[in-house]
Chains A and B, each alone.
Chain A
Amino acid sequence: MWSLSNIAANIDQWLNANMSPTWALIVEMVIAGVAVIGLFAALGLVLVIMERKVSAWIQIRLGPNRVGPKGMLQSLADTLKLLVKEGMTPGGADKLLFNVAPFVAMIVAMLLLAPIAFAKDFQLWDLNIGVLYISAVSSISVISILMAGWASNNKYSLLGAMRSGAQIVSYELSAGLAVLAIVVLTGSLRISDIIQAQENGWWLFKGHIPVIIAFIIFIIAVTAETNRAPFDLAEAESELTAGFHTEYSGMKFALFFLAEYVNVFIVCAIGATLFLGGWMPFHIGNWHAFNGVMDWIPSSVWFFGKTFFLIFVIMWFRWTFPRLRIDQLLNLEWKYLLPISMFNLLLVTLIAIMGWHF
């Protein structure tokens, strides 16, 4: 009744009844544009306050609690502060690249929203190569980091960008292999097919131990890809000030910050879609009463619940593991994760072909 897909369908119907198809499409595009901008801003505000509250909770302190009820408006106040800060370009910088880099970061983060299914039948573009699209577009983000780091003409920035480049491209491999495990099980790259295949149980539970290993590898790899602790060498604040965005200030810094948090949301959304069934409710075999209760919860609540659970896990990592050194980081990927995920893919293939999964 009040599901997101119905609202979208009603708007579509109403527009097509009252306007020519071209205008209806244009109005829909404007609505979609405003909606994604709203989602971006909301995600930025929510994730920043969530990060601070979670870290405060883990370290047994209060966290922000002055602005608004229980400090919930803190990130809004921070945004206002960043808005009135001067966004300067250092004298020796490559002006063009320096100013373009935040745009690239934002465009990549925004483009990754296209194939994500936020609720039942609620997706911007359900393209048939969804998984390939995600891995292709997400690897562009390293370019924005290298651009920012190199153009700043600052030693900290360049060092941070180089570290980040080596790290992101390395961990992309094991993330890709972990994602391929699910593609092998489903036999399709389309996001909606992958979700549909999890109707009677999420892949994490259906695929035995190899899928659990793939999930763990995926979580480790995306933590590294989004430059979050314990893999935050790129902006290790105690050694590199702020890494690749040392020279950025004001709104340009805020854009990098926002893109980073939205990327965390996106990788968690992808993890939730591939391994935890996306918007699919939690079903157990043929317990019809239980499944009925679970179906009653809206699909968007399921999707955001799973995604925010994964985000919470990634925030939890930050206060649990110490930061790795660059050689340890590359060792972990090339000597452990990559061979393990290659072997794991073979196991998953065997399970998929023999039909041993549930």
Chain B
Amino acid sequence: MGAASLIVLILAAIAFSAGAILIAKVVTKATKNKQKAEPYESGIPTRGPSWVQFNVGYYLFALLFLIFDVELIFLYPWAVAAKKVGLLALVEIIIFFFILFMGFLYAHKKGALKWK
């Protein structure tokens, strides 16, 4: 069906979700009170805000991911052509991986892969 299918799929997803939520809204009876609107914290009253500064470890991994993800994007065109190019492609990718692996070892040495 071609690219039109993407429009169909997006509209179908929105229609499905919106339909389900609307039907639920019509058939249920909503009540409001202050305790109910509080965030769940195992039953005790909520303490302090939730939007706080977060462990930096997660961001370190996100940064590392960024480097390797860009590498992955470069690999896609290479992977399609690899068979046609032959052994040269293998040599090229070994050099590419070698440089990348040096970076990986550097990150490892710096302790970026250690969970703090």
Residues 98-115 of B contacting A (Cβ, < 8 Å): 100-101, 104, 108, 113, 115
- Whether A353 touches B87, Cβ cut-off 8 Å, given contacts A83-B23, A188-B80, A247-B40, is yes
* Complex: A24 Cα to B41 Cα, angstroms: 54
Q: How far does the alpha carbon of A109 sit from the alpha carbon of B42 in the complex, in Å?
A: 31
> Chain A interface secondary structure, helix, strand, loop or mixed?
helix
CA of A32 to CA of B3, assembled, Å: 13
- Closest Cβ neighbor of A102 among chain B residues: B17
What's the least CB distance linking A239 to chain B, in Å? 11
A103 contacts B by Cβ under 8 Å:
yes
- Cβ contact of B82, chosen from A25, A187, A335, cutoff 8 A: A187
From 26 to 79 in chain B, residues with beta carbon under 8 angstroms from any chain A beta carbon are 27-31, 34, 36-42, 49-51, 54-55, 57-58, 61-62, 64-65, 68-69, 72, 75-76, 79
**Chain B residues near A66 (CB-CB < 8 A):** none
Q: Which residues of A contact B82 (CB under 8 A)?
A: 184, 187, 349, 352-353
Is the pair A37, B30 in contact by a Cβ cutoff of 8 Å?
no
Q: How large is the interface on B (under 10, 10 to 19, 20 to 34, 35 or more residues)?
A: 35 or more
User: B80 touching A33 by the CB < 8 A rule?
Assistant: no
> Chain A, 89-113, contact with B by CB distance < 8 Å: what is the 0/1 string?
0111100000000110011011101
Task: Please determine whether B83 and A86 come into contact, CB atoms closer than 8 angstroms.
Answer: no
Contact: A91 with B38, CB < 8 Å? Answer: yes
Are B27 and A170 within 8 A (Cβ)?
A: no
Task: List A residues at the B interface (Cβ < 8 Å).
Answer: 25, 28-29, 32-34, 36-37, 40, 82-88, 90-93, 102-103, 106-107, 109-111, 113-114, 124-125, 127, 131-132, 150, 152-158, 162-163, 165-166, 169-170, 172-173, 176-177, 180, 183-185, 187-189, 241, 246-247, 250-252, 254-255, 326-327, 330-331, 334-335, 338-339, 342, 345-346, 349-350, 352-353
Which residue in A131, A157, A330 is a CB contact (below 8 Å) of B61? A330
Q: How far is B5's CA from A85's CA once the two chains are assembled, in angstroms?
A: 33
* Separation of A260 and B23 alpha carbons in the complex (Å): 21
Q: A125 with B5: in contact, given A33-B15, A247-B39, A349-B82 (CB under 8 Å)?
A: yes
Given A102-B17, A153-B50, A184-B83, A349 contacting B8 (CB threshold 8 A): no
Contact residues in B for A87 (Cβ distance below 8 Å): 21, 24-25, 28
Report chain A residues within 8 Å CB of B2.
Answer: 125
Chain B's closest residue to A127 (CB) is B3
Query: Which residue of A28, A132, A177, A251 contacts B20 across the interface (Cβ within 8 Å)?
Result: A251
Q: Are A158 and B50 in contact (CB under 8 A)?
A: yes
Complex: how many Å from CA A32 to CA B4? Answer: 11
| Contact of A251 (CB < 8 Å), options: B24, B57, B72 | B24
- Please measure, in the bound complex, the distance between the C-alpha atom of A273 and the C-alpha atom of B4, giving whole angstroms: 23
Cross-chain contact B90 with A124 (CB below 8 angstroms): no
The 10 A-B residue pairs whose C-beta atoms are closest, nearest first, are: A91-B37, A327-B115, A110-B13, A251-B24, A154-B39, A124-B5, A33-B12, A183-B79, A169-B65, A107-B13
Q: How far is the CB of A32 from chain B (nearest CB, A)?
A: 5
Chain B: CB-nearest residue to A163? B58
Residue in B3, B10, B18, B100 whose CB lies within 8 Å of A110? B10
